[in-house]
Amino acid sequence: MKAVAGTAGGPARRWCAAASCRARNSCGAPRCGRDARGPGWEAYAPSRLTGVNGCFKHLFIVPPVAKVFPADTRARVLEAAAALFAAHGFHATTARDIAERAGVNLASAHYHFGSKEDLYLEVLRVQFDDVNRVLEQRGARLTAGKPTRRADLEALLRARIAVMMEMLLGPPPGLHGTLMLRELGDPSAALPHIVQRFIEPMKRETAALVALLEPTLSRAAVERGVMSIVGQVMSIRAQLPALPYLLAAQRLDRAGLAQLAEHIATFSLGGLRALASAPRPKAGARPKKVLPSQGAAR
């Protein structure tokens, strides 16, 4: 058996080129020199083996390491980073951890994304883009031709809440919600950028919808309403492991979570309507003081 000198793709390889080899040898291995395992194998030109044991020698051939192309490297690093950031958070995940999980070297990861913070922001960008894509597909985004009928606006809010629940809770729970819970529980230095680039645009869109539903509400009341809606969804996501104990009768499959989404929507619409119909305090009027004895009586 003659060894072929190794190339940049790996060490020297041994090849079977017995005269008895055809398209496939009796052992089932592809004929040497015409291997079907993809481009790059031709670099290891077959050597000539004499004897009748060529097929047996296929058992000892070490295939070359698959070549990783730039686009594939970038995707693998992104996938590995998303999984590790979700599992351990930004602070507990190292660049070396990501490179090892992706099967690339540190230099490759740095070449494609720069710093760990840049990679983190790219992971979140991909996740938020996915949320916006689903919102668009489900007709849950405000478009240039904004609906004006209340029934259409309510349907839009219901659809938006349903998408939030599906993206955050699944099942299975999405990476988007897990990443955000990690970030909010243990903030990184990137939090201001995350709010500005990803969270604030979604908040503005929801606030515009709430303002169309209840145009008499002040801007501050609209923003509080948005936080209340999002807070209900995030609260269910944060308590997901405990829900079987807290809501024993509640199904946690997609149908059950759709019921919870409908509840949040109905509850929120009722609350917004109540806020809009509540009497407004007169401008400059001071809130009435309540004495301790009066408070106790109430």
Q: Phi first, then psi: what are they for 30, rounded to 5°?
A: -60, 150
CATH superfamily of 130-277: Tetracycline Repressor, domain 2 (1.10.357.10)
What is the C-alpha separation between 135 and 286, in angstroms, rounded?
43
Report the predicted TM-score, pTM, of the whole model to 2 decimal places.
0.69
Using only the alpha carbons of the chain, give its radius of gyration: 30
Domains of the chain: which residue ranges? 1-67, 68-114, 130-277
What integer pLDDT is reported at residue 280 of this predicted model? 78
Q: How far apart are CA 27 and CA 54, in angstroms?
A: 10
Give the mean pLDDT of 94-116.
92
Helices (H), 214-253: 219-238, 243-246
pLDDT of residue 108: 86
* Angle separating helix axes 219-238 and 254-277, nearest 10 degrees: 160
pLDDT, tens digit, for every residue of 230-256? 999 999 999 999 999 999 999 999 999
Residue 42 has pLDDT above 50, yes or no: no
Q: What is the mean pLDDT of the chain?
A: 79
Over residues 181-189, mean pLDDT:
94
pLDDT at 222 over 50: yes
Mean pLDDT, residues 207-235 taken together: 96
Average pLDDT over residues 77-100: 95
* pLDDT surpassing 50 at residue 34: no
Q: What is the mean pLDDT of residues 147-164?
A: 93
**Is the confidence at residue 114, as pLDDT, over 60?**
yes
Q: Is the pLDDT of residue 140 over 50?
A: yes
Please count the helices (runs of H) and the strands (runs of E) in the chain. 13, 2
pLDDT at 139 over 70: yes
- Tokens (6 digits) for 83: 């999984």
Fold of 68-114: Arc Repressor Mutant, subunit A (1.10.10)
pLDDT classification of 204: cutoffs 50, 70, 90: very high
The answer to whether residue 259 scores a pLDDT higher than 90 is yes
Give me the mean pLDDT over the 151-174 stretch.
Answer: 93
pLDDT of res. 145: 72
**pLDDT of 65 strictly over 70:** no
- pLDDT score, position 142: 85
260-287 tens-digit pLDDT: 999 999 999 999 999 999 987 776 666 6
Residue type, 26: S
Residue 86 scores a pLDDT above 50:
yes
Place of tokens 């489900």: 138
Give the mean model confidence (pLDDT) for residues 98-103.
94
Question: DSSP readout, 128-183?
Answer: HHHHHHHHHHTT-S--SS---SHHHHHHHHHHHHHHHHHHHH-SSPPHHHHHHHHH
Amino acid 258: pLDDT: 94
Give the mean model confidence (pLDDT) for residues 31-56: 40
**pLDDT band for position 56 (cuts 50, 70, 90):** very low
pLDDT at 39: 38
Which of 30-39, 63-72, 122-131, 214-223 is least confident?
30-39
pLDDT value of position 146: 73
